[in-house]
Amino acid sequence: MFRLTNGIAFLKELTAKLDKRPELALLWSLLWMFMMLSLKFDGMFFVVLLLILFLALDLTTAYLFGDVRPERKQLIRFVCVSLLSLSWRGMPFIFRALSQIPIPIAIQNAIFDHRRQFILIVVCCFFGMIWLFCSVSDETVGVFFSKKIKSKRLFLRILLLETEFIFWSAFLFAIGYWLCGHLFGNAQFLWEILILMLKWILLIMYQMACFQLCFGNRSFDSRVSKISGSVTICFLIAAVVQLIFVKNSLVPNLQSDFKIVAHRGSDGNNGVPNTVPTLKDSKKKLSPDYSELDVRQTVDGRFVVIHDAMLANSSGKEREVNNLSLGDLIEHKVKESGHAAYLSGYSQYLEAAHQIKQPLITEIKTDEHDNYDLAAEFCHLYADSMIDHGDMVHSMDYRIIANVKKSEKRLKCGYVLPFEIFSMPKGAIDFYSIEYLTMNRSFIKAAHDQKKKVYVWTVNNKLDCLRACAIGADGVITDNGSKLKRFLKTATKDDFSLGCFINSYATLK
């Protein structure tokens, strides 16, 4: 549909048109420069500025092509096309913008509690928006496609265009990752710059393809190849801005005291997670900075160390943990990956950890049946002992954290974020635990400005560990602590620079 030769022809024609219109060439390059510099801003000002710059850039690019330029009556449609194409060419900008929008913690909790349904709704809304755009009748706006067959074709072609862009973007990233992983020093840095510049060229090509699709198809004049004066200045400006922006983002922001946190107390496949034998074995082999575990409240008001809300008995029938007593639960033997161990109460686990001097990060798990007074009960039973031994608490439910802080201000509390999209929640939080796929530099910087630590979960391979280190995280929660600890001891500056490149390519935050 959108062949690479078309893209090359488009770039040739674009450079020729820019050369004939030096004022537009300057405007075009300045807009790109402001787009990059706008990433330095925060808050709603950034969001508004970003939308204005995107529309201005699109209008300038379209104006260079007379038969693509929208007329005054087509302005609404042009804005729709521009915003619609943001879904793929501007995804990094969109996430950067969303991270500036403050969302109340209650809403964030609701989204996190129903995240699968939320993602499904967002996807459906996105496809529905494209279908609506393709199906609106001429009578409504006066410029949209009206025939159903044409609407269906346009809808499928827009989806195909997005698929192609994702493919070429992934292909370009794979090349960049391979090259940057095999080169070192200045050569690596120059290739990182080049790959990121090619990414922007790819975005421009598909931006024009989207306008072609929605405002009439035509072939570009591939015979045009002259590049001089204004085009050279234009790309020099773009290159300098790219260099300034990327140079900062490719400098590793390493934390001097990077923590290794054993996820559910395990280290590789050394035992059943969340059990005392595994905790002791991990301490002996890994000696993690913290050992993370999960607890749930039982029917008799005690706490048991377990991750899942349901527990299968010997007959295979599942029962809810919060409907069982602690006595019933600690008699249950759990088998996993060739290992077997009994469940333990939190008091027993805590005592074992303190005996071997292993600091803990305890995640308090909840479900819809739990009473939030459990936070006060938890503090009454364990807070003093935890504070004395440097233990911490975190939870995915902010209401739990708020109640823990209300009951015991001295106990350090963290907020677990399944994904970081919106702005940082305000509240009595000492640290954050964020999911590794959505970790970003701006969130970590904002947390550090507030003197709060950021731990990334669950990081189990070298590449994600490099990304977390390079972006400035304070530690990783991992199932493979020994493996990552050995790797970090031998990792070089170029390795961390590669982590920065991956972060910069994937997101602008």
**pLDDT of 245 above 90:** no
411 or 216, which is more confident: 411
> What is the pLDDT at residue 497?
79
Poorest-confidence range of 22-26, 70-74, 326-330? Answer: 70-74
- pLDDT average, residue stretch 324-345: 89
Query: What does the pLDDT read at residue 232?
Result: 64
Residues in the chain: 509
Mean pLDDT for the stretch of residues 115-125: 80
DSSP assignment, residue 411?
A: S
Query: For the whole model, what pTM was predicted?
Result: 0.78
Confidence (pLDDT) at 342: 92
Please, which residues bridge with residue 364 across strands? 295
| Range of weakest confidence among 12-21, 284-293, 394-403 | 12-21
Mean pLDDT of 36-43: 66
The Cα–Cα gap between 350 and 354 comes to 6
Average pLDDT over residues 42-51: 71
Binned at pLDDT 50, 70 and 90, residue 350 comes out as very high
Three-state SS letters, 77-121: HHHHHHHHHHHHHCHHHHHHHHCCCCCCHHHHHHHHHCHHHHHHH
Q: How many CB atoms lie within 10 A of CB 300?
A: 10
What's 71's DSSP letter? Answer: P
Average pLDDT over residues 167-176: 83
Q: Any idea which of 136-145, 229-238, 249-258 has the lowest mean pLDDT?
A: 136-145
- Residues 475, 359: contact at Cβ < 8 Å? no
β 290-297/360-364 pair status: parallel
Distance CA 41, CA 318 (A): 51
pLDDT digits 0-9 by tens, 440-482? 777 888 788 888 999 999 999 988 898 899 888 999 999 999 9
> Can you tell me the mean pLDDT for 302-310?
91
Residue % of the chain over a pLDDT of 90: 27
pLDDT bracket for residue 64 (50, 70, 90)? low
Least confident residue range of 53-67, 188-202, 267-281, 361-375: 53-67
pLDDT number for residue 404: 93
